Amino acid sequence: MTLNPFLVLASLLFSIGVYGVLVRRNAVLVLLSVELMLTAVNINLVAFGAHIQDTLASGQVFALFVLTVAAAEVGIGLAIVLLIFRNRSSANVDELDLMKW
């Protein structure tokens, strides 16, 4: 089994995610882009895990952990976004300068 197509796919997904995080203004889309980057990482984990034929299947198991953590993270992230939207009638990350000095 060849590894390269999986790596190419993961790289593309990760790059799209990075682009989304840096460029999109809507906080929901930024979160979705973060999910894309995590998915790319998961693909890499599963692909390498299958490639080295690990008897413990640690790559696949670790991918499941990442999914769990990502779900939790998105839960919290969306809650924050929702609250910000309620307070300021906008989920635009450009306008969020609360953490400025």
Partner 1 sequence: MTTLHLFASQLLLAAEEGKAVELSDGGVLAEFAWLIPVVPLVLMFGIVFFGKRLPFKGWELAELSMAFVAVYGVALFAMNASEGIYYEGSVEIATIGSYVIEWGWIVDGLSIMMYAVVGVVGLAVFTYAKGYMEGDVRFTWFFAAFTLFAGAMLVLVSSPNMIQLIVGWELVGVASYLLIGHYWEDHANNAAAIKAFITNKVADVGLFIGVIIAGVTVGSFRFSDLLGAIEAADSALVDVAFWAGLALFIGAMGKSAQFPFHVWLPDAMAGPTPVSSLMHAATMVTAGVYLIGRVFPLYHDALFAVDVKTIIIVVGAATLLLTGLIALVQNDIKKVLAYSTLSQLGYMTAAMGAGAYTAGLFHLFTHAYFKALLFLGAGSVIHAVHSNDMSDMGGLRKSMPYTYWTFLVGSLALAGIFPLAGFWSKDEILASISYDASHGGGTVATVVLVIAIVGAFITAFYMARAVYLTFFGEYKGEGHPHESPRIMTYPLVGLGVLAAIAGFANMPGIFTGFTDWVGARLIPMGDHHAESIDFVLAGIGLAVALAGIGLGTRIWGPDRETQEARDTFRIAGLYPLLERKYYIDDLYLYGIVGPTKGPLARAADWSNTYIIDGVVNAFGAAARLLARVVYGGLDQRGIDLAINAVGAGTGEVGEGLRHAQTGKVQQYAAALFVGAVLLVVGFLIFG
54 or 95: CB nearest partner 1: 95
Judged by the rule CB under 8 A, the positions of this chain that interact with partner 1 are: 18, 21-23, 30, 93-94, 96-101
Structure tokens at 20: 């989304």
35 or 60: CB nearest partner 1: 35
Provide the minimum distance between the beta carbon of 84 and partner 1 in the complex, in angstroms, as a whole number: 11
Provide the minimum distance between the beta carbon of 61 and partner 1 in the complex, in angstroms, as a whole number: 25
- Which distant-in-sequence residues (6+ apart) come within 8 Å of 90 by Cβ? 84
SS (H, E, C) 16-36: HHHHHHHHCCEHHHHHHHHHH
- Distance, CA of 14 to CA of 35 (rounded, Å): 9
Residue of 19, 20, 67 whose CA lies nearest to 41: 67
Provide the minimum distance between the beta carbon of 101 and partner 1 in the complex, in angstroms, as a whole number: 4
50 or 93: CB nearest partner 1: 93
Structure tokens at 94: 């450009």
Provide the minimum distance between the beta carbon of 97 and partner 1 in the complex, in angstroms, as a whole number: 4
19 or 65: CB nearest partner 1: 19
